[in-house]
Amino acid sequence: MSLMDRVAALEAELDKAKARTAEEVEQFRVAMLGRNGAVTELFDAFKTVAVEEKKLLGQRMNKLKQLAQARFEELKDGVGETAIATGPQIDLTAPSLTEPTGSLHPITIVRQRIVGIFSRIGYTVSNGPEVEDDHHNFGALNFAPDHPARDMQDTFFVAGPEGTSGADRALRTHTSSVQVRVMENSKPPIRTISPGRVYRNEAISARAHCMFHQVEGLYVDKGVSFADLKGTLDHFAKSMFGAEVKIRLRPSYFPFTEPSAEVDMSCSICGGSGCSICKHSGWVEIMGCGMVDPAVLSNCGIDPEVFSGFAFGMGVERIAQLIYRVPDLRMYWENDVRFLEQFKAAPFRS
């Protein structure tokens, strides 16, 4: 091939040259303009060309070299643009750096679970204030002003505005205050649960705290019976802890229910054979309950001659304790991530 033909062939090659990466641009530069590159070699061969041919060929070759140079710049810029358009080069096969994820608080997990069980059988969720008045926390629930039952709950009173006594305002000691608000504001049939925080003036220890969580339940309609109460609580216990658990009701006393009962469940930890959690009795107490006292219905504007109802109240920490066996109640409030991150996968059967 004559030198002139080689120039023409290289021009065509330059036109077609492509590069997708910086590496390919460099390969192009070496192949064309490098020390042993095609263009460089042509210049070496030029030395042997006859004088009369030199002028024309020299011009073509200089043009070729400029073209190769320009093409190189173009390819280099092209790769630069692609790099900008796609952002930094990412290795999609590299293992990802996982962001630490948070987890729900165990009390939240258990509360959501309780709420879920009752919403599926038609209970609504209702809320009330944490700073409550005497009427809703005590009076309407049948706690007479000098009733000894008030001693059951050590109340935190809240100071009133300047010059007023705080006697009528307190941090609610139980979520039963919400059943009063619901009954005052709605007509039966009422089927509701009220989850929330409650406060009691207790010395803080592994087994007691001045704030904790309860879920109150209330069902008022015509003909609601104690059997309905027991059936509902049995359904709850089995849904929460497993179909094998049993419940039993023991007579008890609450000012706002008559009759009243304490609910025990066969120990979900040892299956009833006896362990340290159930103090070797095979039973653990899970909540209080009863038929709403007719006086409470009247206090809230519901006719006890027409309607009856049941109520129950459980401690969320208590239920959580039976699931997670947290040894110290204070841990629920410390928010130590080493504690919290253990609840990422909740051990619930559904």
Contacts with ligand DAH by CB under 6 A lie at: 174, 176, 216, 254, 257, 288-290, 311-313
Nearer of residues 137 and 266 to ligand DAH, judged by Cβ: 137
Taking the complex as a whole, the smallest distance from the CB of residue 218 to ligand DAH amounts, in Å, to 7
Nearer of residues 76 and 230 to ligand DAH, judged by Cβ: 230
Contact present, 172 and 128 (Cβ < 8 Å): yes
Nearer of residues 64 and 178 to ligand DAH, judged by Cβ: 178
Taking the complex as a whole, the smallest distance from the CB of residue 158 to ligand DAH amounts, in Å, to 19
Taking the complex as a whole, the smallest distance from the CB of residue 149 to ligand DAH amounts, in Å, to 10
Taking the complex as a whole, the smallest distance from the CB of residue 193 to ligand DAH amounts, in Å, to 10
Nearer of residues 64 and 132 to ligand DAH, judged by Cβ: 132
Nearest residue relative to ligand DAH (C-beta)? 313
In this structure, which amino acid lies at residue 68? A
If 0-12 CB within 10 Å is exposed, 13-18 middle and 19+ buried, where does residue 139 land? middle
Taking the complex as a whole, the smallest distance from the CB of residue 310 to ligand DAH amounts, in Å, to 7
Is the bond preceding 106 in cis, omega lying within 30 degrees of 0? no
Taking the complex as a whole, the smallest distance from the CB of residue 275 to ligand DAH amounts, in Å, to 25
Q: Residue 343: phi, psi to the nearest 5?
A: -100, 15
Cα first-last separation, the chain: 83
Nearer of residues 272 and 315 to ligand DAH, judged by Cβ: 315
Nearer of residues 196 and 313 to ligand DAH, judged by Cβ: 313
Question: Token digits for 65?
Answer: 């070299």
Q: How many CB atoms lie within 10 A of CB 34?
A: 15
Nearer of residues 272 and 290 to ligand DAH, judged by Cβ: 290
Nearer of residues 39 and 178 to ligand DAH, judged by Cβ: 178
Taking the complex as a whole, the smallest distance from the CB of residue 311 to ligand DAH amounts, in Å, to 3
CA dist., res. 80 & res. 19, Å (int): 11
Nearer of residues 70 and 125 to ligand DAH, judged by Cβ: 125
CA dist., res. 43 & res. 17, Å (int): 21
Taking the complex as a whole, the smallest distance from the CB of residue 177 to ligand DAH amounts, in Å, to 9
Taking the complex as a whole, the smallest distance from the CB of residue 173 to ligand DAH amounts, in Å, to 7
